[in-house]
Structure 1
């Protein structure tokens, strides 16, 4: 539980608080041009699955920050489509797939919307700086999704960081139960490719896509 853990402060260089984001940031992806996508607003329903009615009034968002303009604030990206009307957005992990020929940017976002977890897919309009909702992906193997790693325009790896929710989730962590896993969605269905892990969290690929 971290009782004997030592924390060493480290600063890689000058830093500052970036204004614009109120409800924290869970994940970030930076494009080669310096534009960053930031997920903000993950709520406790990831663990409680909506047992607190106040959570249903909570709304998250995806922000952008330009590292080429480090003195500016992070800005909320408008979303076009029915995702906010149909599901609401409580984002967790995110990742980007970018077409090497056209430069098209597609964003995959873990969305915790009770009683299920889904992956929301957006296309990013770089001229208008808006996200266009493409589709919502749901599968029975998405039950405690933490992060996603895109492998193509419709495929991705994902992590389930646990099996239970609520008080059972607390004991799952304290007892070090290896009940998390890594899955792969091929564009049609999901399958588990690595099972019996302990609280798998973020997932990524190396620069050579391995």
Structure 2
């Protein structure tokens, strides 16, 4: 009798986990393909545009070539077969016909481009000279995660490596959000480096992720017990931090405190586009701008609007740009 009850409990847990993963991945939805206008693939970038940051005058810095230990062997093999290198690309919203171009790295004793596997990115603008500072998550090949600091040299389209940040609290990082020079939030995405264990971390689910505050050489964990925190971004006034939690299908909104601590003030389900009111999300005005069945782009990961264009990046696929405010292409947005 006890054995039957035990087996019944195990079966119930398995069914719950399968249902949880099925719904959180959105497999129960059927989406209608639609574009906000004419969309096309950007030339010059073929394999990955995982994250991007855009200056006020429309320069997009795009990370490409992301890979880290817990991804599958099939993914690692694809990276090797296609000889994909970690790169930062530049796309100018004001000159879209130029496509995307890879930026060169200036030599540095503490940075090896051959081991560069970039993920999240954040920038500090220099409006006077255009020498913007870039902070980039680097899943160092055969090494530990760290955050690289670069200076963009616009005259020669090169990145000068200035320094790196590392700490024992860095696990598998995902993204960074700058507060100021050498001060930023970072998302600890996953705990396990093993592909199998990280899979269990996702599906069980195990809340082993968190948010870090990096202030120079000092690192503090400011939020604990999150389930795979992904992209992070600060509001323009630095009062709110937005954190994507994909496996929960939600986004957390935190209010920044005087000591740069974080207070959770909102939990937003099924984030598509964010209409804001006093830093918080107005649920009633959320709209879906783009959905594709994989013909144009697969595994989209980031998007930005500038100069009447919607630029969409992907984990390991193409970079796509859409003209906004034109004729809508495809069926009406929505899911059935």
| TM-score after normalising by structure 2 | 0.57
1:203 aligns with 2:229: no
Aligned residue runs from structure 1 range 48-87, under 5 A: 59-82=85-108, 85=112
In 1, the alpha carbon distance for the partners of 2:41 and 2:113 equals 34
Moved more, 180-189 or 4-13: 4-13
Aligned residue pair count: 208
Residue aligning to 2:124: 97
Q: Quickly say closer, same or farther: Cα 1:142–1:201, change in 2 above 3 A.
A: same
CA-CA distance at 1:176 after TM superposition = 1.4
Aligned residue runs from structure 1 range 1-210, under 5 A: 1=22, 2=25, 3-45=27-69, 47=71, 59-82=85-108, 85=112, 88-99=115-126, 104-113=131-140, 114-165=142-193, 166-210=195-239
In 2, the alpha carbon distance for the partners of 1:148 and 1:12 equals 29
Give the SS at the match of 1:45: coil
Q: Is the 8 A contact 1:45 1:55 kept in 2?
A: no
Query: Where does the alignment leave 5 or more consecutive residues of structure 1 unmatched?
Result: none
Q: Is the 8 A contact 1:46 1:112 kept in 2?
A: no
In 2, the alpha carbon distance for the partners of 1:84 and 1:186 equals 21
Give the SS at the match of 1:195: strand
Structure with more relative contact order (C-alpha pairs < 8 Å, separation 6 or more): 2
CA-CA distance at 1:169 after TM superposition = 0.1
Give the SS at the match of 2:29: coil
Q: Cα RMSD over matched residues?
A: 2.4
Give the SS at the match of 1:134: strand
Q: Quickly say closer, same or farther: Cα 1:58–1:170, change in 2 above 3 A.
A: same
| TM-score after normalising by structure 1 | 0.89
Query: Where does the alignment leave 5 or more consecutive residues of structure 2 unmatched?
Result: 1-21, 240-336
CA-CA distance at 1:23 after TM superposition = 1.6
Larger radius of gyration: 2
In 2, the alpha carbon distance for the partners of 1:107 and 1:15 equals 28
In 1, the alpha carbon distance for the partners of 2:35 and 2:91 equals 20
Instruction: Encode CA deviations 1:32-89: one digit per residue, 9 max, x unaligned.
Output: 111100000012435479xx69978752100000010112210000010225537621
Residue aligning to 2:3: none
Instruction: Encode CA deviations 1:77-116: one digit per residue, 9 max, x unaligned.
Output: 0010225537621100101012467654100000001331
